[in-house]
Amino acid sequence: MSAAAPSDDLPATDPAVCRTRARVYDLLAACLDGDVDAFVAAAERGDFARLSSSLPVDLDAEFADDYDREALSVGYDNLFVVPGAHYVPPFASAHATEPSTDYESDSAYHAAAAGGELLGEPAAAVARLYGVAGFEPTRGDGIPDHVAATFEFLGTLAAAEADRREAGAREAADALRELQRRALARLGWLDAFHERVRDEDRVEGAFAALVGVARTFAAWDARAGVGPSGADDGTAASNGTEEPPETADGPPEVTDDAP
């Protein structure tokens, strides 16, 4: 699956732009869910390099073209699956700064009442968004706020929006776009997630670079892809200078400090 950032020559609501966004999210969801073959194939095709060069900041994200699949698989598990010295939880609840108040959590990753849980309020919030769309994630190991599950959701919504716009169903398409805004607004935790992955990645920086691209693409999308509420007027996708939608969490920030 080849992916690149949407062209800024087309309106943001053009079905072709929606489908390009969907392909990017599908690719990132697969890679962030541990699909090593998808990651290696994308790196070899230069997908990540093209995507990085299309975004409005200098990511300086370097991807090799000869990754060792076994090393990547082990590295992924050490970072995102098996709790240990280098483990970085890939779901929003673990990076929450406030404890849940009315959503039962199976376990905590920090001291009691300090936030950072498994299946905390961020999971409940994104699960409600899934319910609105009738979406059941196949990625993310059954954890609703896993980054791979959320990106899969965004890809599904973008593809569905393209279908609705091609069919002339603007009201339904606009509703799907609003759901995308709400999902993107839950991704502010990707900033802290990226910082921790950079500190712990031991596989040539491969996953730090991947998360950097994912974080920056989501931030670009919140500003210029789907844009803020009320922006469904067919204006062209831009370089991301618009203000993001204001929410409790906010989307990830576009910065140039990453791979």
- The candidate with the shortest Cα–Cα distance to 129, out of 169, 184, 174, is 184
Average pLDDT over residues 68-89: 95
Percent of the chain scored above 70 by pLDDT? 76
pLDDT band at 239 (very low <50, low <70, confident <90, very high): very low
The secondary structure of residue 51, as a DSSP letter, is H
In this prediction the pTM is: 0.83
Per residue in 116-133, pLDDT tens? 578 888 999 999 999 999
Terminal Cα distance for the chain, rounded: 22
Q: Can you give the pLDDT at residue 53?
A: 86
**Cα gap 21→1, rounded to integer Å:** 12
**Cα gap 101→90, rounded to integer Å:** 22
Domain boundaries, the chain: 15-92+155-225
**Cα gap 25→158, rounded to integer Å:** 9
Per residue in 17-74, pLDDT tens? 999 999 999 999 999 999 999 999 999 999 999 998 888 777 767 899 899 999 999 9
Residue entry with tokens 């965004």: 154
Q: Can you give the pLDDT at residue 100?
A: 52
The distance from CA 160 to its chain's CA centroid, rounded to whole angstroms, is 17
Q: 117 pairs with which residues across the strands?
A: 108
Per residue in 146-189, pLDDT tens? 999 999 999 999 999 999 999 999 999 999 999 999 999 999 99
pLDDT band at 105 (very low <50, low <70, confident <90, very high): very low
**Cα gap 193→86, rounded to integer Å:** 13
- The candidate with the shortest Cα–Cα distance to 222, out of 243, 194, 193, 247, is 243
